[in-house]
Amino acid sequence: MARALASRANPLISSLPAFLTWRGLGFRSICSGRLGHLSSSPEAQSSPGTKFLQTFTEEFQVGSHSITLETGKIARFANGSVVLAMEETRVLATVASAKGDGVLDFLPLTVTAYALSSDGKQDPDVMAANATSAALMLSDIPWGGPIGVIRIGRIDGQFLINPSMAELSLSDLNLVYACTREKTLMMDVQAREISENDLKSALRLAHLEAVKYLEPQLSLAAKAGKKKKEYKLSMISNVTLEKVKALAEAPIEAVFTDPSYGKFERGEALDKITKDVKKVLAEECDEESLKVLPKAVDTVRKGVVRKRIIEKELRVDGRHLDEVRPLYCESGNLPILHGSSLFSRGDTQVLCTVTLGAPGDAQRLDSLVGPSTKRFMLHYSFPPFSINEVGKRGGLNRREIGHGTLAEKALLAVLPPEEDFPYTVRVNSEVMASDGSTSMATVCGGSMALMDAGIPLREHVAGVSVGLVTEADPSTGVVKDYRILTDILGLEDHLGDMDFKIAGTRKGVTAIQLDIKPAGIPLDIICECLEPALRGRLHILDHMEREINSPRTQEDRNSPRLANMKFSNDSLRRLIGPQGATKRKFEQETGARISVSDGTLTIHAKNHTIMDKAQDMVEFLIGREIEVGGIYKGIVSSIKEYGAFVDFNGGQQGLLHISELSHDPVSRVSDVVSVGQKLSLMCIGQDVREHNHRRSYTVSILNSLQLSLKATSTSPLEEGKSSDIHGFSPPVKPPSNVWASVGALSNLDSEFEESLAKEDENQETPTSYSASNSQATSKSNKGAKEKDRDGMGTSARSLKLGDKLVGKVHQIRAHGLVLDLGGGVHGMYKFKVEEISKWVKLYKLSVLASLLREFQLWICWRTHNAVAAIYFQAWQALAEAKASPSITNKHAHSASLFRGANERRELFSRVSLVYDNLNDLLSLGQHRIWKRMAVSWSGAKRGDSVLDLCCGSGDLAFLLSQKVGSDGQVTGLDFSSDQLSIASSRQRSRACFDNIVWIEGDALNLPFPSTCFDAITVGYGLRNLLDRQKAMKEILRVLKPGSKVSVLDFNKNTESYITFIQEWMIDNVVIPVASSYNLAKEYEYLKSSIREFLTGRELEELALEVGFSSAKHYEIGAGLMGNLVATC
| pLDDT over 70 (residue 747) | no
Contact 137, 143 (CB under 8 A): yes
**Amino acid 164: pLDDT:** 92
Fold of the domain spanning 238-312: Arc Repressor Mutant, subunit A (1.10.10)
Q: pLDDT tens, 905-941?
A: 666 666 655 666 666 655 666 777 888 888 989 999 8
Largest CA distance in the chain: 130
Instruction: Round to whole Å and give the CA distance between 81 and 56.
Output: 11
Q: Could you report the per-residue pLDDT of 845-858, keeping only the tens digit for each? A: 333 333 333 333 33
Q: What is the dihedral of CA 415, 416, 418, 419, to 10 degrees?
A: 180
Residue 575 pLDDT more than 60? yes
Q: Which CATH class is domain 54-224?
A: alpha beta
- What lies within 8 Å, CB to CB, of 371 at 6+ separation is 365
Decide which of 528 and 263 is more confident: 528
Q: What class is the 327-547 domain?
A: alpha beta
Domain covering 631-712 in this structure, CATH number: 2.40.50.140
pLDDT of 506 higher than 90: yes
Confidence band of 91 (pLDDT split at 50, 70, 90): very high
Using CA atoms, how far apart are residues 263 and 347, in angstroms rounded to an integer? 8
Q: Which CATH class is domain 561-621?
A: alpha beta
The least confident of 4-13, 237-246, 983-992 is: 4-13
Domain 896-1127 has CATH 3.40.718.10: no
- pLDDT band of 391, cuts 50, 70, 90: confident
**How big is the CA angle at 779 (ends 777 and 782), to the nearest 5 degrees?**
150
Residue scoring higher pLDDT (580 or 1087): 580
Which of 830-839, 859-868, 1080-1089 shows the lowest per-residue confidence on average (mean pLDDT)?
859-868
Task: Tell which wins on pLDDT, 817 or 578.
Answer: 578
Q: For the segment 1026-1045, what is each residue's pLDDT rounded down to a tens digit?
A: 888 999 999 999 999 889 99
pLDDT (average), residues 159-176: 94
- pTM of this structure: 0.57
What is residue 201's predicted lDDT score, i.e. its pLDDT?
A: 95
Report for 104-108, 344-348, 981-985: range of highest mean pLDDT: 344-348
Helix or strand (DSSP H, E) at 928? helix 927-937
The whole-number pLDDT of residue 35 equals 34
Query: pLDDT digits over 453-478, tens only?
Result: 989 999 999 999 999 999 988 878 88
CA atoms 59, 60, 63, 64: torsion sign: positive
Report the residue count for the chain.
1128
Angle at 773 between CA 767 and CA 775, to 5 degrees: 115
Residue 573 is inside which H or E element, if any? helix 569-576
**What was the pLDDT predicted at 990?**
59
Residue 781 has pLDDT above 80, yes or no: no
In single-letter form, the type of residue at position 254 comes to A
Bridge partner residues of 639 (DSSP): 644
The confidence score (pLDDT) of residue 833 equals 41
Picking from 9-13, 447-451, 1124-1128, which range would have the lowest pLDDT averaged per residue?
9-13
Q: pLDDT confidence of 650, banded at 50, 70, 90?
A: low
pLDDT per position as a tens digit, 403-428: 999 999 999 999 999 888 888 999 99
Q: Which residue has the higher pLDDT, 711 or 378?
A: 378
Parts of the chain belonging to CATH 3.40.50.150:
896-1127
- DSSP character string of 861-925: H---HHHHHHHHHHHHHHHHHHH-THHHHGGGGGGGTT-SHHHHHHHHHHTTTTHHHHHHHHHTT
Residue 234 or residue 160, greater confidence: 160
Task: List, for residues 696-730, the tens digit of each pLDDT value.
Answer: 222 223 345 666 666 555 443 333 333 232 222 23
Q: How does residue 101 score in pLDDT terms, banded at 50, 70 and 90?
A: low
Residue 982 has pLDDT above 90, yes or no: no
pLDDT beyond 50 at 392: yes
Segment of 4-13, 319-328, 556-565, 1020-1029 carrying the highest mean pLDDT: 319-328
Q: What is the pLDDT of residue 600?
A: 84
- pLDDT over 70, % of the chain: 70
With pLDDT > 90 as the criterion, what percentage of the chain qualifies?
A: 33
Range with top average pLDDT, 88-102, 155-169, 903-917:
155-169
